[in-house]
Structure formats: C-alpha cells, structure tokens
Amino acid sequence: MALGFEIVAAEGNARTGRILTAAGEVLTPCFMPVGSAGSVKGMTPWELQAMGTQMVLANTYHLMLRPGAEVVAKLGGLHRFMAWEGPILTDSGGFQVYSLARLCRLEDEGVEFRSHLDGSLHQLSPERAMELQRQLGSDIAMVLDDCPPLPSLRSRLLEAVRRSVAWARRSRAAAGSGPAVFGIVQGGLELELRQQCLEELVVIGFDGYALGGLSVGESKAERDGLVAELAPLLPRERPRYLMGVGTPEDLVDAVAAGMDLFDCVIPTRNARNGQLFTSQGKLSIKHARYAEDESPLDPECDCPVCRNFSRAYLRHLYVAGELLAPRLHTWHNLHFYQTLMQRTRRALLEGTWAKFRREFLSRTKETEA
C-alpha cells in the first residue's frame, strides 16, 4: 500500500484481523465517514484528521459519473484529488443498484443503468468495477454485489447469493495485484443463505469480509440478531466490515458481536437535519427549549463546537438557515463518532469493554437530551 497501510492477521489478544498504519497504529474498530463524491459533506480533510478520522469511504458509482474515474486518475488519484492522506475504501456501486433500482437492469453479466444525473446509459460489471477502483487509487476495493431489498422472496435472495458469489470470483480475478479486496456476504435475513455465501467467498479468498444488504428495510432487532449470529462465523484473521450501519448504539452492539469496520451517513445526514449525538443521548437542536440555553451542546465533549458555542447559538444558526449550522453540527457528530471509536479501541485493549459498553448504552440508548 502506497500510504503505509496494511491488513495483518490476528495475534495475541487481538480478537480479529487488524488494519494498521506504517507506524503500527491500530485502525480497527474504525468508523469511516461517507464521502461518496470524494468529499465528506461540509468538512475539510484536515478537520477530519484533527478529530481522529483514520479512513474515509468514497463511492465508485458517483465518482464514475462525475468527474469520471479517468479524470481522477489523470489528476493523480483520489488521495491527491481530495487531499486525503489516510486510507480510502471505495464501495463498488452495488448498493446504488439497490437504491436506484428503477434506473437499473440487473443481469448475470453486470448492471446496465441510467445515470440519475443526466439519464445517460452505463454498464457496470465486476471487472469494470475493479478497474474503476484501481483508477481511483483506493486502498480497499469492494467487489460488485447484488443487494436485494428486504423483505424479498427466497427466490430473489437465492439469486442474489448466486450472483454475488459469481461476481466476487470475477472481481477477485480482475483485481490482480491492485488494492486490498473485500468480499460481501449477501443472503437477506436467512442465516443459512448467509453461511452458504460466506463459505463460497472464503474459498475464493479475500483480504476482508463484509456484511452487506442490511439497513435496507429490516428492523433493528432483525439486523442485530443476524449480525450476532453471523459475525463470529466470519474469518477471525481478517477485518469484518458491517456496511451502512449505523447509530452510535448500533456500532457498540456490532463491536460486541465482533465487527471491526463501519460506515454510515447517519452522523452527517442527521447533522444537516439538526439531530446531534451527545453523551446523554440524541438532541434535536431545533427545539424551542434551547433558544436561551447557554450550556454547551455536550458538556463532556472536547470538540471545537462544544468548547466555543452554546446550544442557543447553534439553534439560532439552524433556525436562521446559516451555512455554518450544518458545518458545526457535522463537525460535532463526526467528532462524537470518532471519540466513540477511540474509547472502544482503548476499552478492548485494556480489557474493560463489557463495563464500557454497559455504561455507554445505559446513558444513550433510546434517549434524547
């Protein structure tokens, strides 16, 4: 890896495979802010780095449409293009096949879709997805997968598993000596199908394994139950990635199940809508009760937002529609997530995880400040 980033097998008291920097810093458990178009909305790379962000996620689908992977490659690759020095994981575009299903035609060869930007016709195959990610210069490339919505008929889930495994095999072959490649386990909420998919992916062999096809219509209880059963079955010596999940409580529960790597739009999207995460639970800054509240957003947070601004000021910015509002809200939420990951890593290393998890969930789960 050009940036001194590597995946190493578990050893000692490490519970799973780890992602390390050249200096030996453990990156997992790790939360990746979503920067689909090469930018985490409202945040500069140095601000992300200052709050402890170690890795970001970008999306092949969005970047292939605008500005184009070829353009990014010509300009020195995604790291240089977005001025981000840390590792970058790129999603292959498989989730967009699900979310933009009305614009797509799904076949065994690949996906034909119309751009949501201008209606132009494009094809995305496993080989093309890997080539695009190589042009972008990502450090971890995700295979192209078939992500069905939930609920789906068993016949559709069987089709998704068969197609995802076939595409994973083609993706692995096309990757060559490029970036690290993660396989994606599909199968809906059926543990048997998930196990079947996982077994076939392990035979192919990947640098890490992801649980995909979640947060697509199932309940939290259904998702948590599946993750708890499936996470221990993922190869222990490789990083385990839970895609598209979730709230701070979701992350803590998933770490307890054995997952290492996470991404989600919740901290940035909710910030733009005025929902903020604090040590006492969620807080909706738009509420009138904060209009004259001089206290910091979160008295236990040391981010610049909480050190410098009152709840009253943050509410004023939001109600007035000031551009600074989503910036500051996003800054705080991402800082909260990264601090949570730092505390999680420390608790795991110090053997205090059970106590940390119990206390964290007792203060934040299903509450609003």
Q: Which helix (H) or strand (E) holds 46?
A: helix 45-50
- What is the β-pairing status of strands 88-91 and 281-284? unpaired
Cα–chain center distance at 267: 11
Does residue 113 contact residue 105 with C-beta atoms inside 8 Å? yes
Q: 185: closest CA among 108, 241, 247?
A: 241
Which entry of 139, 146, 207, 263 is annotated as an active-site residue? Answer: 263
From residue 224, alpha-carbon distances to 201, 245, 263 in Å are: 22, 11, 16
Does residue 277 contact residue 258 with C-beta atoms inside 8 Å? no
Annotated catalytic residue 260: no
CA atoms within 13 A on the CB side of 89: 27
Return the SS3 of 167: helix
DSSP calls for 293-345: --SBS-TT--SHHHHH-BHHHHHHHHHHT-THHHHHHHHHHHHHHHHHHHHHH
| Dihedral, CA of residue 292, residue 295, residue 339 and residue 140, to nearest 10 | 20
Between helix 154-175 and helix 191-204 the angle, nearest 10°, is 10
Residues in the chain: 369
Distance CA 160, CA 256 (A): 28
CA atoms within 13 A on the CB side of 43: 31
Annotated catalytic residue 145: no
Return the SS3 of 271: helix
DSSP 150: S
Which entry of 91, 139, 207, 298 is annotated as an active-site residue? Answer: 91
Q: How many CB atoms are located within 10 Å of the residue 276 CB?
A: 26
Catalytic residues: 91, 263
